[in-house]
Structure 1
């Protein structure tokens, strides 16, 4: 299970986002292999010279605290792996509210934090950001809402639409230029379509047919599917861009197949939302291409986390590991120069559990992604992710 996207400020949205695409985890210099064993008690605290705050909704409603606990454990795991005694984590409970996040940020800064990791939700980030900005303390947040990025706030999460250029350029390089679009009537669909429109012309492509469908409504999907089928039968298109979530793919796949639209006759192109283990059970989707992180990084992280804590982490947990890894990797810089905008947005980026990524000056992020193909028993990588941003093709 990996991630796509624009999550906003609710846990439900976060679940959707991370269920579709892979979240990035910054493994700068961290090797794989087996886990370190039980985490030693007292590994967080304020003894290190470089204090890094960790703002999470450790208490709150629903299952938010369980997600926060996993994020905290992943952060501790990174601190243990990198074994740098000069860095200490300073956990602060946001209580899942803007007021709690503001108070947590104030407390963290009073404790001498040079960097804030978290919060989780967009409203929390918005509340913590002004407090941190007053003291020039940057924030590495987990939200996927781009509206909260910038002015010292950097989003580590996968962002909606940012994977689209990768799949468009890959398809164009393989002779796919005439596209049908089948777009969900949702905020994510609009973002994905906008990104597609912005990039399709670069490779000499064009959008020939556009159809939209309401999510979670199989009856209403039939008409749009027939539009695509008619265009395919008329020889007008050679690829179908389908940025749908797993639940909609499962409704669409039988309709596509019954109308003669399969990846055998029309190259299917997905987004990170296709990145879930059972995608190949729908025969119509087998052979489709989509962008995603190399699966090995996540599987290695899961094995290490499970060995340490005895459970499987939620997909978002890798973000916390990456954030702490980044913090540790930059900690040798002199005080006042560790977490500047220049160091955080270095052009070479950082290596993560989910591959290469870098933070951008506007507070968003960019990632190097692999191309996966849908197979009957799960996705298979057919083109590796770039190992540097110079060679990345978008």
Structure 2
């Protein structure tokens, strides 16, 4: 059963981590923060977009995600009614190919690059485009590569951590114990949670880490329970992933004495992906974040009716990128750093989002829980950046 922890996985350092009538628009007026190079001037015609995707990597899952991202981008192009000329470039499995594809795209007139998916490829594309004033809207969620001309579209750990810490504080659940894996995703997640706790006036009651293995989790849970019960914590924040360590942590931690109800369980990752886990004590009643469910449902329905299958969970990132590009081009603005970081943000598949001057992003997220065998939204995603949670 525990073999899932032993399978090869791309870490968060490499991974990214929604319709006729579906608005491709900015959330409102508003300026942004100037970022150095202004980027190509607005053309007054269709904007040239290069879509960099992991075609040719030799990995079947990469091909699947690439196809879904391309499909979503084409839906957006159709909705924009000829305002975008889209051309796809493969990035393969190596950063060098992503760099070469970015250079080719720019030579062929690309005004902005959408993608790549993986952090190494996105970083390489950003470096290749840096001297040309072309910005890169990457599908990655790895904040280590953000900045300069590279902007992240993927939802970051920081987004989820801030949303849950702020919501928890409002519910009186502000003394938080962090439990995380000793791997890149776990450690980056722990850092994001700790920053959110510090920035929002909550209390860090302690941190417990575990080796990313079955024995590591078994050994660490009694330590976590002891600290939770002796530190005054009233919440426990897990970095565990639903397809990896969460099934074991959410079972063993309650058994060790971290009683749900006495302690509020929170999750940095999506907990709705494996319904077979819903009956576990640590999952029932736990909090996690989700995008705007209404907007995503619209996109999912449109995608399925067009392509005959449900979209990959990351597919909407391509639509969101196109939403931002299309909104700026429609208003006659260049796809510059200043325009991309307008304070009002944009409206996309996953709800409201905005790009920050440091290359990261803010996304409007809902807080959800597991109640019985169902997912229940307990605090809806804000519709704009004047709402709660920002």
Q: Report the RMSD for the aligned CA atoms in angstroms.
A: 2.7
Distance 2:12 2:224 in 1: 31
Say if 1:280 and 1:377, in contact at 8 Å, map to a contact too: yes
Q: Is 1:229 aligned with 2:225?
A: yes
- Residue 157 of structure 1 and its aligned partner are, at CA, apart by 0.8
Taking structure 2 as the reference length, the TM-score comes to: 0.83
- Residue 275 of structure 1 and its aligned partner are, at CA, apart by 4.1
Counterpart in 2 of 1:326? 324
SS of residue paired to 1:163: helix
Q: Is 1:182 aligned with 2:216?
A: no
Counterpart in 2 of 1:382? 378
| CA shift digits 1:241-286 (9 cap, x unpaired) | 1221112121122222323433222111211343425242313321
| CA shift digits 1:11-35 (9 cap, x unpaired) | 83479967xx7xx79x97159xxxx
Where do residues 189-338 of structure 1 align in structure 2 (5 Å cutoff)?
189-217=186-214, 219-231=215-227, 233=229, 236-246=232-242, 247-278=244-275, 279-334=277-332, 337-338=333-334
Distance 1:134 1:357 in 2: 27
- Are the structure 2 counterparts of residues 16 and 376 from structure 1 closer, same or farther at C-alpha, using a change threshold of 3 Å? farther
Say if 2:11 and 2:185, in contact at 8 Å, map to a contact too: no
2:345 to 337, 342, 349: 349
Say if 1:243 and 1:273, in contact at 8 Å, map to a contact too: no
Counterpart in 2 of 1:372? 368
SS of residue paired to 2:288: strand
Distance 1:212 1:14 in 2: 17
- Residue 202 of structure 1 and its aligned partner are, at CA, apart by 4.9
Say if 1:185 and 1:214, in contact at 8 Å, map to a contact too: yes
Counterpart in 2 of 1:29? 23
Unaligned runs of 5+ in 1: 1-9, 32-47
- Are the structure 2 counterparts of residues 28 and 261 from structure 1 closer, same or farther at C-alpha, using a change threshold of 3 Å? same
Unaligned runs of 5+ in 2: 1-7, 26-44
Counterpart in 2 of 1:59? 56
Taking structure 1 as the reference length, the TM-score comes to: 0.83
- Residue 345 of structure 1 and its aligned partner are, at CA, apart by 0.3
Counterpart in 2 of 1:77? 75
2:160 to 156, 160, 163: 163
- Are the structure 2 counterparts of residues 17 and 277 from structure 1 closer, same or farther at C-alpha, using a change threshold of 3 Å? farther
Say if 1:140 and 1:154, in contact at 8 Å, map to a contact too: yes
- Residue 384 of structure 1 and its aligned partner are, at CA, apart by 0.9
Distance 2:281 2:200 in 1: 29
- Are the structure 2 counterparts of residues 178 and 100 from structure 1 closer, same or farther at C-alpha, using a change threshold of 3 Å? closer
Q: How many residues align?
A: 360
